[in-house]
Structure 1
Amino acid sequence: MKTIAILYIGRHPEITETVVRLLNTNENWVGIGTVNDEEAKAIFCKKEFSIVLLGSGIQYESETNLCSFFKKQNPNCIIVQHYGGGSGLLKSEILLALEDIK
């Protein structure tokens, strides 16, 4: 199976760290996270991501700017809102996004 690269953007360092750790427990996923919009854009340009997860707390203007940037760089990238809820919800969100990719 192809490895799925997932970029997580949050606003809380501890939550970002936890989400990335949970992503990387799946052998088919590679998760990278940041709490900074400009860093997220730079990371996105260096690696081909299939999914971008947007965590809670991102202001509307930042979210709009990020989504526009990601879609311009890679129109096939799936952008998913992630509001928390534990590893089960995270996995479900990603599996649903992967269905959209197929």
Structure 2
Amino acid sequence: MNKINILYTGRHPEILETVVRLINQNENWNGFGASSNEEAINLFTTINFTIVLLGCGIPEDEEKQLRDTFAAINPECPVIQHYGGGSGLLSNEIYAALAKANV
């Protein structure tokens, strides 16, 4: 089985590192992190992501740019807001997005 690629983008380096580490603790998931829109879009255009998580600290206009760009490239990929709250909440958000994406 191929791993599910998950992109997390946020502006806080410590949170980004933690979320990607938590994602990668699941043997079926492959987490990637991006700290800027440019980095997130570059990753999104080169890797087939199943889910995108938007973290805190992204200005509203940049979030809109990301959502619009991701939707134009792959409208089937859910983009969900992740505000934190521990690994249990993160896993639940990912499982819910996977169910929504029929994965």
TM-score between both structures, scaled by the size of structure 2: 0.96
Q: Partners in 2 of 1:73 and 1:94 — Cα distance?
A: 20
Runs of 4+ in 1 over 6 A off after TM superposition: none
After superposition, residues 42-81 of structure 1 pair within 5 angstroms as: 42-81=42-81
Quick one: percent identity of the two aligned structures? 55
1:3 and 2:3 matched: yes
How many residues align structurally? 102
RMSD: 0.7
Please report how far the alpha carbon of residue 34 of structure 1 lies from its aligned counterpart in structure 2 after TM superposition: 1.2
Query: Which runs of 5 or more residues in structure 2 are unaligned?
Result: none
Q: Secondary structure at the match of 2:57?
A: coil
Which residue identity is paired with 1:63?
E
TM-score between both structures, scaled by the size of structure 1: 0.97
Please report how far the alpha carbon of residue 2 of structure 1 lies from its aligned counterpart in structure 2 after TM superposition: 3.7
